Amino acid sequence: MTALLLLAHGSPRASANAALVRLAGRLRERSEFQLVAVGYLECNEPSIPESIDLCAAAGATEIVVVPWFLHIGTHVAQDLPGFLRQGEERHPGVVIRLSDYVGLAPMVADLLADRALVAAQASV
Protein backbone atom coordinates (compact mmCIF):
# COMPACT_ATOMS: atom_id res chain seq x y z
CA MET A 1 0.00 0.00 0.00
CA THR A 2 1.18 3.51 -0.80
CA ALA A 3 0.50 6.27 1.71
CA LEU A 4 0.59 10.00 1.12
CA LEU A 5 2.05 11.93 4.03
CA LEU A 6 1.68 15.70 4.15
CA LEU A 7 4.22 17.40 6.40
CA ALA A 8 3.80 20.85 7.88
CA HIS A 9 5.56 22.99 10.44
CA GLY A 10 2.54 23.07 12.74
CA SER A 11 1.15 25.94 14.73
CA PRO A 12 -0.36 26.49 18.16
CA ARG A 13 -3.27 28.15 16.28
CA ALA A 14 -5.83 25.49 15.40
CA SER A 15 -7.06 27.51 12.42
CA ALA A 16 -3.56 27.44 10.92
CA ASN A 17 -3.59 23.64 10.94
CA ALA A 18 -7.19 23.27 9.81
CA ALA A 19 -6.33 24.10 6.19
CA LEU A 20 -3.93 21.16 5.98
CA VAL A 21 -6.44 18.82 7.60
CA ARG A 22 -9.08 19.91 5.04
CA LEU A 23 -6.58 19.42 2.22
CA ALA A 24 -5.80 15.91 3.46
CA GLY A 25 -9.53 15.18 3.45
CA ARG A 26 -9.85 16.32 -0.16
CA LEU A 27 -6.92 14.14 -1.14
CA ARG A 28 -8.53 11.15 0.59
CA GLU A 29 -11.68 11.73 -1.48
CA ARG A 30 -9.61 11.54 -4.69
CA SER A 31 -8.62 7.97 -3.76
CA GLU A 32 -5.22 8.10 -5.47
CA PHE A 33 -3.59 6.91 -2.26
CA GLN A 34 -4.94 4.25 0.06
CA LEU A 35 -3.92 6.32 3.07
CA VAL A 36 -3.51 10.08 3.46
CA ALA A 37 -1.94 11.31 6.68
CA VAL A 38 -0.47 14.49 8.13
CA GLY A 39 2.55 15.02 10.36
CA TYR A 40 3.87 18.10 12.10
CA LEU A 41 7.37 19.34 12.82
CA GLU A 42 6.26 20.92 16.08
CA CYS A 43 3.32 22.24 18.11
CA ASN A 44 0.94 19.47 17.01
CA GLU A 45 0.42 15.74 16.84
CA PRO A 46 1.19 13.48 15.27
CA SER A 47 4.83 14.42 14.99
CA ILE A 48 6.67 13.50 11.81
CA PRO A 49 8.18 10.34 13.33
CA GLU A 50 4.78 9.36 14.75
CA SER A 51 3.07 9.90 11.40
CA ILE A 52 5.63 7.70 9.65
CA ASP A 53 5.10 5.02 12.29
CA LEU A 54 1.31 5.27 11.87
CA CYS A 55 1.59 4.84 8.09
CA ALA A 56 3.85 1.81 8.52
CA ALA A 57 1.53 0.32 11.16
CA ALA A 58 -1.41 0.73 8.76
CA GLY A 59 0.42 -1.43 6.22
CA ALA A 60 2.14 1.13 4.00
CA THR A 61 5.09 -0.30 2.10
CA GLU A 62 5.72 3.05 0.44
CA ILE A 63 5.20 6.53 1.86
CA VAL A 64 5.18 9.51 -0.50
CA VAL A 65 5.98 12.63 1.51
CA VAL A 66 4.95 16.12 0.38
CA PRO A 67 6.30 19.02 2.46
CA TRP A 68 3.69 21.74 2.90
CA PHE A 69 6.41 24.41 2.94
CA LEU A 70 6.92 27.44 0.70
CA HIS A 71 10.71 27.68 0.67
CA ILE A 72 13.78 25.58 1.27
CA GLY A 73 14.83 26.62 4.72
CA THR A 74 16.61 24.43 7.25
CA HIS A 75 13.50 22.36 7.90
CA VAL A 76 13.09 21.32 4.26
CA ALA A 77 16.81 21.03 3.50
CA GLN A 78 17.94 19.19 6.63
CA ASP A 79 15.30 18.36 9.21
CA LEU A 80 12.75 16.58 7.02
CA PRO A 81 15.28 14.35 5.20
CA GLY A 82 16.69 13.38 8.60
CA PHE A 83 13.27 12.37 9.93
CA LEU A 84 12.63 10.34 6.78
CA ARG A 85 15.99 8.52 7.02
CA GLN A 86 15.21 7.66 10.64
CA GLY A 87 11.78 6.40 9.55
CA GLU A 88 13.35 4.08 6.98
CA GLU A 89 15.73 2.79 9.65
CA ARG A 90 12.79 2.05 11.99
CA HIS A 91 10.80 0.43 9.17
CA PRO A 92 13.25 -1.38 6.85
CA GLY A 93 10.49 -2.71 4.57
CA VAL A 94 9.05 0.75 3.91
CA VAL A 95 10.30 2.99 1.10
CA ILE A 96 9.91 6.70 1.86
CA ARG A 97 9.98 9.09 -1.10
CA LEU A 98 10.33 12.84 -0.59
CA SER A 99 8.72 15.12 -3.17
CA ASP A 100 9.69 18.73 -3.78
CA TYR A 101 8.22 21.22 -1.34
CA VAL A 102 4.98 22.92 -2.39
CA GLY A 103 6.54 26.35 -2.92
CA LEU A 104 8.71 24.99 -5.72
CA ALA A 105 5.72 24.04 -7.90
CA PRO A 106 5.42 26.24 -11.02
CA MET A 107 1.69 26.68 -10.39
CA VAL A 108 2.46 28.67 -7.22
CA ALA A 109 3.25 31.69 -9.44
CA ASP A 110 -0.18 31.34 -11.08
CA LEU A 111 -1.82 31.10 -7.67
CA LEU A 112 -0.03 34.21 -6.41
CA ALA A 113 -0.97 36.17 -9.54
CA ASP A 114 -4.59 35.05 -9.16
CA ARG A 115 -4.69 36.13 -5.51
CA ALA A 116 -3.13 39.49 -6.39
CA LEU A 117 -5.65 40.12 -9.18
CA VAL A 118 -8.58 39.29 -6.90
CA ALA A 119 -7.26 41.70 -4.27
CA ALA A 120 -6.63 44.42 -6.86
CA GLN A 121 -10.16 44.07 -8.25
CA ALA A 122 -11.66 44.19 -4.76
CA SER A 123 -10.04 47.56 -4.12
CA VAL A 124 -11.46 49.14 -7.28
Here the CATH number for the domain that contains residue 90 is: 3.40.50.1400
- Report the phi/psi class of residue 57: left, alpha or beta, with left for phi > 0 and alpha for psi in -120 to 50: alpha
Give 47's DSSP letter. B
Give 1's pLDDT tier (boundaries 50, 70, 90).
very high
Please, are residues 68 and 20 in contact by the beta-carbon 8 Å criterion? yes
Q: Which residues are CB-contacts of 96 (< 8 A; sequence separation ≥ 6)?
A: 52, 62, 63, 65, 84, 87, 88
- What is the pLDDT at residue 69? 77
Has 91 been annotated as catalytic? no
Please write the tens of the pLDDT for every residue from 8-36: 888 888 888 888 899 999 999 998 999 99
Structural domain including 63 reads 2-122
Of 9, 71, 75, 91, which residue is the catalytic one? 9
Instruction: Please tell me the total count of domains within the chain.
Output: 1
- What is the pLDDT at residue 96? 97
Please write the tens of the pLDDT for every residue from 51-97: 999 999 999 999 999 998 777 766 666 788 899 999 999 999 999 99
- What is the pLDDT at residue 124? 62
